[in-house]
């Protein structure tokens, strides 16, 4: 099956959008600074990832379809080198600067850190459930899961974003854009042809957000899916 036709080239802009907050004032944070970091997830993050997936399913009104357990995730994720298969960027936030943890630095990806200056501090009612005990008061705020695909029209690989999610109390602060931009940045660095994803047609806020990032929403395409009993029926098909 041919891949979707590539979208038309975006209107030229004065400078390439990164989606990352301006770090020019990082040295002198004002107001209520929120220290944010995007890093590669590890197997130790599976409990947080499973909770985030469940919250995403509730938000998308698809909780009845969310059956993945921590064991399921552990048996299928982190089996290949980053960006060669299923890859997860984890979004973490803190009220204090992050410690320089070399464990998160690798030849594959250097964590992205930014400071977002807010007018008010964030109240996180679920902080205890998402606090990363390995890193002090660092809290897991969201994630993006993506993997390689291929465009026959472009003759290039790309990334498909399966899930993008920021917990409710951290939304509308530029963190979702920061996550998606990190995927786009990685794709560009690897010479890939595009990044694509699906969006629910009722999610007007998300559609507007993606369009503002320069994405072309393709209403003429529909997702086709074989799953559950319909897929299992092919197991013994001749």
Domain ranges of the chain: 32-98+105-233
Tell me: pLDDT of 178 over 50: yes
To the query of whether residue 234 is one of the catalytic residues in this protein, the response is no
- Kindly report the CA angle at 209 between 83 and 124, in degrees rounded to 5? 80
Q: What angle do CA 185, 116, 38 make, to 5 degrees?
A: 40
109-156 residue pLDDT tens = 999 999 999 999 999 999 999 998 655 689 999 999 999 999 999 999
Alpha-carbon distance of 180 to 175, in angstroms, equals: 9
| Mean pLDDT calculated for residue range 20-37 | 65
Catalytic residue among 48, 170, 192, 210: 210
7: pLDDT strictly greater than 90: no
pTM: predicted TM-score of the whole model, two decimal places: 0.85
Beta strands in 51-138 (DSSP E): 87-94, 112-118
108 pLDDT tier (thresholds 50, 70, 90)? confident
pLDDT reported for residue 113: 95
CATH superfamily for 32-98+105-233 is Gcn5-related N-acetyltransferase (GNAT) (3.40.630.30)
pLDDT of residue 134: 59
Distance between CA atoms of 238 and 235, rounded to whole angstroms? 9
């Amino acid at each position: 099956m041919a891949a979707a036709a590539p979208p038309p080239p975006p209107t030229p802009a004065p400078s390439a959008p990164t989606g990352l907050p301006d770090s020019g004032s990082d040295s002198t944070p004002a107001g209520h600074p929120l220290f944010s970091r995007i890093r590669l997830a590890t197997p130790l993050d599976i409990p947080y990832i499973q909770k985030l997936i469940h919250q995403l399913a509730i938000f998308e009104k698809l909780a009845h379809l969310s059956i993945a357990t921590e064991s399921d995730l552990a048996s299928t994720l982190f089996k290949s080198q980053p960006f060669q298969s299923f890859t997860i960027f984890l979004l973490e936030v803190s009220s204090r600067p992050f410690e320089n943890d070399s464990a998160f630095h690798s030849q594959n990806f250097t964590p992205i850190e930014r400071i977002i200056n807010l007018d008010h501090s964030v109240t996180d009612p679920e902080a205890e459930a998402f606090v990363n005990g390995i890193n002090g008061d660092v809290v897991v705020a969201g994630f993006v899961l993506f993997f390689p695909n291929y465009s026959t029209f472009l003759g290039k690989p790309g990334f498909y974003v399966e899930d993008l999610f920021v917990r409710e109390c951290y939304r509308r602060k530029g963190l979702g854009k920061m996550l998606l931009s990190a995927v786009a940045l990685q794709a560009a660095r690897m010479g890939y042809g595009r990044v694509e994803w699906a969006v629910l047609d009722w999610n007007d806020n998300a559609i507007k957000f993606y369009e503002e990032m320069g994405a072309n929403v393709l209403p003429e395409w529909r997702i086709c899916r074989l799953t559950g009993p319909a897929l299992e029926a092919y197991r013994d098909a001749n």
